[in-house]
Structure 1
Amino acid sequence: MASFNCSRIIASKIMRNLLTAILILLYTQRSSANQNPFRDPSICGKPQCETPFRKFNFHDNLYKYEYNVDLNTEFSGTGNNASSLFLKASVIIYFPKPCDGFLQITDVKLWDHECKSKDDEFSNNANSGNENFNEDDYYGEFTDSRGYTEPNDNFINMHPKSIELAKDLKQHLLRFSFNDGLISEICPNFQESVWALNLKKGILSIFQNTMLRFDVDFNTTEVDTSGECNVQYTLKDVNNAFIKIRKTKNMQTCQKRYSTNSILQSTPYRFRDDKALWPIIDSISYCDMVINNNVYDEIICHEQHQLIVFSNNHTGAITRVKSRLILQGEENYNQADFLNEHDNIVERRSTLLFDHTPSTKPTRTEIKLARDLLKEMCVNGFPYIKREFLSVFTNFLHTIKQLDYEALTQLLGRSTSICEKGK
């Protein structure tokens, strides 16, 4: 009897091990067919390209675009009190493989120029529930460009930070997944700075189109630099090979848009849509997309952000942004050489959401202030701690938060020479 029970136990173990081996084999085969991109460092985005270019038809060419941004911030109604910037860049977009794209910025210029005030102001309550509201008339006022003058393409009136900005933006390619218009993931270089990546995210946000078909209006939710927002696509015009689509973003529905900077530990909370607080910024955003033979020919986007607390109807603190992405031409290139030249290993993964991480590049003022505060801490902390020490120590902590690793290392190395008890 004992030998019989022993045989049953052995047979049960063998059967269990066999089933375990079969399950592992089946899981391995399934994993090889649908690999997780977080486990495969050569894939950016989804493991498989399930919808290769149904509505878009980007070939193995270099698509050269000109990217312009005109930004104007002013206190409307207070005279000529405005701050303006104009950025012009050359952008190349590659699609060496289906659902796999690369963005490269080859030339950047930045001007600090003055925009003439526009004659037409658009209503702050344009998104109200008025049934007689004419959307085309409203947007026509918004797109009025009378008085707009693009700066000359020279180095005379260029912004003093233009060369430095161009150097950082041109340094790295940006790889991204492009699943028939949906950009679900970006895979930047590990050394790409936060601000440079945010600017490239803005370009890709313009490039994103999640419609199922170009000829059918579509409502959806998209993730881009504005947050997670409700978006409406409307077919505006069709002319032979050209298709014009308007993409309207409902900024009041955007989630994951803002960030807080506090010494207190906190957890983000998402309010219900019907319980949302009254916004402090009234924002409007839309894009007109012109598509020729299933390829972007031109995209023009407009945004306006009005600070409600300092506004009175048409007057107040207003920021207007007009951005353009215009196709300049296509060019052949060697796809194999491109893939061999650029490392396919994914170093980082992110989405199009704006990164609110503050820049850690220190300035001379911050480094000098940290040294002075360290001296004050030595004076107020030795041999006895004085009442003023706590205030100086708090200011010191806030200051060194803005310093990077290199600056902190220098401060630590020189702390003894700054004061006797500095280290």
Structure 2
Amino acid sequence: MPFPNLGLSQKINKALDKNVYKNPTLIQKRVIPLVLEHKDIMAKAQTGSGKTASFVLPILQMWTNKKHEGKPKINCLVLTPTRELALQVSQAFIIFSKYLPKKPKIVSIIGGKSIGEQLLDIQKGCDIVVATTGRLLDILKKKQMNLSNLEFLVLDEADKMLDFGFEEELELLLESLPNKRQNLLFSATYPNKMLNIASKITLNPIEVFIENEKTIVETINQRVIEVNKENRSALLRYLIKEENWNQILVFMANKRSCDNLAFKFRKYGFEAESFHGDLIQDERNNTLEDFKSKKIKVLFATDIAARGLHIDNISCVVNYDLPRSPADYIHRIGRTGRAGKSGISISFISHEDKELFALIEKRSDINLKKEQIEGFELIGTPIKKQKGSAPIKGKRKSKKDKLREQQALKKIR
């Protein structure tokens, strides 16, 4: 089923054609007609499946069918977990509305930018707001944003918002929204906390669950290399030269490690930079643009780069440090092998990582051969976990003792 058969206008189809969108993905085929029928949606699909277009396109279609008189009023609010994803969603609205006779005014509300400028853009009038929740709530608290005309609420990568405290922020947000609206939730996973959030937003959504989009990772050659932690840096430099990779995205456990390794690689002559949440927004934007334009060859990043980065030519993703959850593994490797192209993912595992990687394999339904590279072999033996000593009877504080201590502390304060 090509895009013209999904109920989209000729002008939107022209934008799709100009941007080489020929045939919709499975999530787009199923979601776009339902959104056009004004249904609430709870969609589940993996990274790289085309979720963004599945809500941007029908929202633009319905927006362009409306009469627009006077100052623009906020018609659609899209919430994302990261600034980069917010900017990319805004860009998708701009790209797909290029040939519309009247274009919507789109405002991005994100941290790292002047809140004064964003407030001014809102007050001038806008149709679509794409925001991260933290900055949005800052503006709502100032009571300078009117959402009473809102018709669409979209949560993109909703499960990832849980990592940023979205569950606690939800009540304040819902107080600012009209009860009658169309709700569209998109998430790669639906843990219990996510289902709880969904129940507060919408009561009877249509579930669109794309369970087995194996095509997303079929084009990725997944490799696992056993190596001692202290040899990972040297092994990575060796592999980049030996395999002749062009653009490499390396996932690290924390911000400091990103900075340290990028600095070390630059000393060895690599075009390398770090990417994480401590960078100001302009630095983050410039770093991504340099990576896209191949001015940067190796990008060391935290998990903020695991979702929403649409960079088509990443030749290799490296799990220098393993992700904390199996779901994040799929999101990470999904940064390569996009748009039907082939890609490579490499995971470094030491003795300490084997148990976690076995869980990742089980949850991801994969079984990968473990490699060792000559000169970087994994040596030593696993450190046995020490069991904690048994509690000594009578030494643990009772509940009454703890309560007395708390009351005593209150009196002191």
TM-score (norm 2): 0.26
Q: Over alpha carbons, which structure has the higher Rg?
A: 1
Query: More strand per residue: 1 or 2?
Result: 1
Query: More helix per residue: 1 or 2?
Result: 2
